[in-house]
A and B are shown apart, each in its own frame.
Chain A
Amino acid sequence: EAGVVQSPRYKIIEKKQPVAFWCNPISGHNTLYWYRQNLGQGPELLIRYENEEAVDDSQLPKDRFSAERLKGVDSTLKIQPAELGDSAVYLCASSLGSAVSTNGYTFGSGTRLTVV
């Protein structure tokens, strides 16, 4: 079984340019998370989906970040325009059901974004 697949693995863009990250969760996992991990820090939650509904986007900077999960499967996270401070690793995770105590998360390998 394939794990959580993210692409691209690396992305370098100039500031003010747009960028998008893609995540394909494990088949059947209805809960999907996007986290941002700054250098030397732990992951920080950006948004959580249950199926196609964003049930917690309180930490998503909505002025420049957007996300979607059409049909409740794949998800895309977009930044427009990117700023230097957006340089980080963007991690996608998925779980079967929303109860982390039961299911835990499975993480993808992440997309490392560098804004220059």
Chain B
Amino acid sequence: EVQLVQSGAEVKEPGESLKISCKGSGYSFTNYWIGWVRQMPGKGLEWMGIIYPHDSDTRYSPSFQGQVTISVDKSISTVFLQWSSLKASDTAIYYCARHTTAHWADYWGQGTLVTVSS
């Protein structure tokens, strides 16, 4: 069974750093892209970027380039999303999703709620 399990909710202050994770199982981890999608409170879905675990090829949405870093650790079948300096506007639920070769997202993690508040 394909599963993507994300790390738990986080509460941080502005300016702090953060790294959240998404662990894949039940499939060949290195052969599928994994991407991140943001959902701000009460809003729609925003595609942030994807990474190919096999070679760490990473593509970002221009809206998120330079704001976040997507990385992977193949040894533990886990993809990460990190911020070096959080802002209040980063408050959102972040979903990871497995992307097929044609890049539609066929399996999703449960979401990680990130709250940034002073």
Do A and B truly interact?
A: no
